[in-house]
Structure formats: structure tokens, C-alpha cells
């Protein structure tokens, strides 16, 4: 299947050149290790800050591969070849984002689980947070891909990525962290927050391909 | 084994004007390329050869005028009829020519033609070397093999022979001749003599 070929190639390239999941996972772990040094070591502080810090660090981990996602295709002429492949660019975008995300982002919920326990959350609360992270990651990957497509080939691409991704990430940050926090105090709102995370993530996943395709088409001209 | 047939498509350019970043490049250009013809575009640096090829590939909207493949405007028709080879080779540093060709051949449904394309460009000895360890000429050969496996009637080539050695240029000329014999079109922008028999030459001027 043609779209499957793009998915597989993207996953293979992520392992060949990018070290697969090592970079985002290492980035995530490093952020979680440094955070307590900055916010203070008292167990109460860490427990309160944990879900928020973990969500935020996960966003940064997803962002760190953004510039490569479409930037390389623009620079090496691959995007032009995709443009004439007869496959709609929105479909190419879905295959690319899913291929690279599946290859590189899968450890993040597990790191989130370990991080939650390390920050003093109960296992149930850390589990809920990990579940919410797993639900949020497709949405995060796609919103970061919008920013990546807008910045592809642009000078100061990192600036564009930060400016575009930050506001788009707000709902996912709020609901994912709230799911973890609510679970920590045994509040029933945890489940509701998890469902809201799923909803926002699905919404971003469904609509982003069209935004990505429009950005890439503008880049081709 | 031969490449499956495609539907030969003539190219008609009528009264075309192109701009790049608000600067007018080509104006009032009309030409027609029939199946089996090769057109070589010559002209000074910056005259708009690449811009013209990009317009032919349907990604760049003309400022005015019309580009058609058969009866269909280029913007609609290009993804079905054109292959574009730009300055960049669309190779990934960690992919070998064989992997890269396998990918593009799968997108075009031409997987069984990979050995023939590699032969045509003399890639046998390099097939499994990652692209980052290939020379410029070897990368170009790999990119030209990609053009072959895409099996489209219209080839748009931007400086196809620039980094190629004598043998590479001969192989390219042979591939172009074979493509034209099947009713394909070849439009190439170049500074070098390409030694393509009876190719038409179009000088582009401001």
C-alpha cells in the first residue's frame, strides 16, 4: 500500500538517522530530573507540581524533533517529489507524522509513569497521568507538525515553531495535567479530564492534516 | 522486462508570464512539445529556467497565460503526468539508492522495474551504500533512477547532467532517447551541452 510505504519509510528513517525514541525519551527524562532542582525538593511541592511539570516536559520532548520533520524534506527536494507523487499532501502528512511518532514517542507515557511515581504521586494517579499522556501524544504530535510545516525551510524556524505550538498546546496541557492532579486527590473529575484529553487529541489529529497540507503547499510555491 | 505503457501527452504553453517574488521573469512565452520530443532550455543565470520548470510541474501558478498537458491545466494534470528532478536529489543521507528507489517505486507501483532503472544509471556497485557516502555524481545517478521508476510521460529535469561524468552523461542520453522512443517528453534546463540527438533548443530571455 502506497501510504503504508511512507509510514514505514518515516519510521525507518527515524531509527536510521535520529536514534529512534532515544532523543525524545532522554530529553523528557533530563527535564524531569532537573525540575526538582529548580522548584525545590519538599515532597508536598513535588507532588503538587508533578503532573504539570510532567505534561510540560512531555510537550518539550515532542517539540525537540519538530524542525526535522518537514525541514529536511524541504531542504533535500523530497517535498517536491511528494507534491508530484499523486498522493494528497494531507495524506502524506498523516503518514509522516504517524510514522515518526510511532517510532520515536512511544516511551513517553512510560517515562511519565515513572516520573509520576518519582514525584510522589500514588501509583493510581501516576497511571492516570500516563494514560492521559498516551491520549495527548497524538494530538501533541500533530499540533507540533502544524508548526513544523509552517516553519519548514524558513529561517528562524524554531521561533515559528514556538509561537505556533504554544497556544495550540494549551487545552492538552490543561486537561492532561488536570487528569493527573484529580487522580492524586481521588477526585472523580480525573476520568472526565482523561476523556477531554482524548477529545482534544482526536480533534487535533483529525484537522491538522489539512492545515499541514496548506502550509506545505505554500512552501512549494 | 520493459516499463508499462503510459499515455503520451503533449505540452502546450501559451502566452505564459511568470514572476518570482514580484520580479517578472518570463513573459509572453508560447511553445508546444509533442510526445517523443526533447526540449532543452538555455539562458543566463537567473533568467527563470528553474521557475519555468516549476511552473510546468504545476506548483507555481503563472502570473498570466496557460500551461496544459493535453487539455488539462498543469496544476491539475502534473501529479499524474510529470516527474520533476530539481537541483536537490531528494535522497536521505541514511538511505541507500536501493532503499530510496524501492520507496519511490512502491509509490508508483513499479517495484519490479528497480533493477532495470539501476542498470540504466549504472548503480549496481553503489546500490547498498548510504547516500551520505556517495559522490555528487553518484547521487545524481540515483536521483535519475528515481525519475525512471516513476514512469511518467513528462520528465522535467533541472541541470540533470551537472555533476555527471562522461559515462553518466551517456547513460542519461540513452535513457532520454529510450523515453522519447516510448512517446515521452523531456524538458531540461541546462548550461552544458547535453548531446541529445535532435533535441529542440529554447533560449529563454528576459
Distance to chain B for A149, nearest Cα, Å: 17
Across chain B, mean pLDDT equals 91
Q: What are phi and psi of B14, to 5 degrees?
A: -125, 125
CB nearest A80 (choices: B84, B94, B107): B84
pLDDT digits (tens, 9 = 90+) for A206-217: 999 999 999 999
Per-residue pLDDT, B84: 94
> Looking at beta carbons, which residues of chain A come within 8 Å of B151?
none
- B103, A9: Cβ pair inside 8 Å? yes
- The list of chain B residues with pLDDT below 50 reads none
Nearest to A132 by CA among A213, A52, A42: A52
Q: What are phi and psi of B38, to 5 degrees?
A: -120, 135
> Looking at beta carbons, which residues of chain B come within 8 Å of A9?
103
In terms of CA atoms, which chain B residue is nearest residue A19? B94
Per-residue pLDDT, B43: 87
- Contacting A with CB below 8 Å, chain B residues are 57-61, 78-80, 82-84, 86-95, 99, 103-104, 106-109, 146, 152
| CA B153/CA B111 separation, integer angstroms | 18
Per-residue pLDDT, A220: 86
Per-residue pLDDT, A18: 67
Distance to chain A for B159, nearest Cα, Å: 14
Between strands B64-69 and B185-189, the pairing is unpaired
Q: pLDDT at residue A144 above 90?
A: yes
Q: Vertex B42, ends B39 and B48: CA angle to 5°?
A: 105
Q: Determine the angle formed by the axes of helices A43-63 and A22-39, rounding to 10 degrees.
A: 150
Per-residue pLDDT, A219: 87
Are B154 and B11 in contact, with CB atoms under 8 Å apart? yes
Preferred mutation among A84, A85, A220 to probe B, highest tally of B CBs within 10 A: A84
Strand partners, B18: B26
The confidence band for A159, taking pLDDT boundaries of 50, 70 and 90, is confident
Are B153 and B8 in contact, with CB atoms under 8 Å apart? yes
Are A149 and A68 in contact, with CB atoms under 8 Å apart? no
- A84, B84: Cβ pair inside 8 Å? yes
Read off the pTM.
Answer: 0.91
Per-residue pLDDT, A168: 92
Per-residue pLDDT, A1: 65
Per-residue pLDDT, B4: 80
| CA B111/CA B80 separation, integer angstroms | 18
The confidence band for A92, taking pLDDT boundaries of 50, 70 and 90, is very high
Are B142 and B130 in contact, with CB atoms under 8 Å apart? no
Amino acid at each position: 500500500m502506497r501510504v503504508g510505504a511512507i509510514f514505514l519509510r518515516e519510521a525507518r528513517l527515524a531509527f536510521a538517522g535520529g536514534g529512534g525514541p532515544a532523543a525524545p525519551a532522554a530529553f523528557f527524562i533530563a527535564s524531569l530530573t532537573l525540575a526538582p532542582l529548580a522548584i525545590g525538593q519538599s515532597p508536598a511541592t513535588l507532588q503538587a507540581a508533578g503532573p504539570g511539570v510532567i505534561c510540560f516536559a512531555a510537550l518539550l520532548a515532542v517539540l525537540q524533533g519538530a524542525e526535522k520533520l518537514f525541514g529536511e524534506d524541504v531542504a533535500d527536494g523530497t517535498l517536491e517529489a511528494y507534491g508530484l507523487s499523486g498522493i494528497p499532501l494531507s495524506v502524506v502528512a498523516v503518514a509522516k507524522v504517524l510514522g515518526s511518532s510511532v517510532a520515536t514517542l512511544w516511551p513517553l507515557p512510560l517515562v511519565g509513569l515513572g516520573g509520576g511515581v518519582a514525584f510522589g504521586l500514588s501509583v493510581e494517579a501516576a497511571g492516570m497521568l500516563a494514560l492521559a499522556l498516551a491520549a495527548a501524544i497524538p494530538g501533541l504530535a500533530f499540533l507540533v507538525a502544524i508548526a513544523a510545516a509552517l516553519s519548514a525551510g524558513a529561517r528562524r524556524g524554531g521561533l515559528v515553531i514556538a509561537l505556533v505550538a504554544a497556544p495550540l498546546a494549551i487545552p492538552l496541557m490543561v486537561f492532561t495535567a488536570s487528569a493527573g492532579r484529580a487522580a492524586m486527590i481521588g477526585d472523580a473529575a480525573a476520568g472526565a479530564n482523561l476523556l477531554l484529553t482524548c477529545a482534544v487529541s482526536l480533534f487535533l489529529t483529525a484537522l491538522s492534516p489539512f492545515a499541514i497540507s496548506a502550509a506545505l503547499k505554500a512552501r512549494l510555491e | 522486462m520493459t516499463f508499462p505503457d503510459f499515455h503520451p501527452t503533449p505540452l502546450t504553453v501559451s502566452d505564459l508570464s511568470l514572476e518570482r517574488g514580484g520580479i517578472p521573469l518570463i513573459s509572453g512565452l508560447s511553445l508546444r512539445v509533442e510526445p517523443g520530443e526533447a526540449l532543452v532550455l538555455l539562458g543566463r543565470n537567473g533568467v527563470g529556467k528553474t521557475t519555468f520548470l516549476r511552473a510546468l510541474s504545476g506548483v507555481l501558478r503563472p502570473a498570466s497565460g496557460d500551461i496544459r498537458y493535453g487539455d488539462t491545466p498543469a496544476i491539475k494534470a502534473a501529479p499524474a503526468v510529470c516527474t520533476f528532478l530539481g537541483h536537490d536529489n531528494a535522497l536521505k543521507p541514511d538511505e541507500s539508492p536501493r532503499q530510496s528507489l524501492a520507496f519511490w517505486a512502491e509509490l508508483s507501483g513499479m517495484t519490479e522495474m528497480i533493477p532495470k532503472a539501476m542498470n540504466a544509471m549504472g548503480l549496481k556497485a553503489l546500490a547498498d551504500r548510504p547516500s551520505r557516502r556517495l559522490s555528487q555524481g553518484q547521487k545524481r545517478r540515483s536521483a535519475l533512477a528515481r525519475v525512471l521508476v516513476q514512469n511518467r510521460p513528462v520528465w522535467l529535469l533541472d541541470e540533470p547532467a551537472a555533476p555527471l561524468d562522461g559515462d553518466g552523461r551517456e547513460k542519461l542520453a540513452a535513457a532520454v532517447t529510450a523515453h522519447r522512443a516510448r512517446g515521452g517528453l523531456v524538458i531540461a534546463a541546462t548550461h552544458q551541452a547535453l548531446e541529445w540527438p535532435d533535441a529542440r533548443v529554447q533560449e529563454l530571455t528576459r
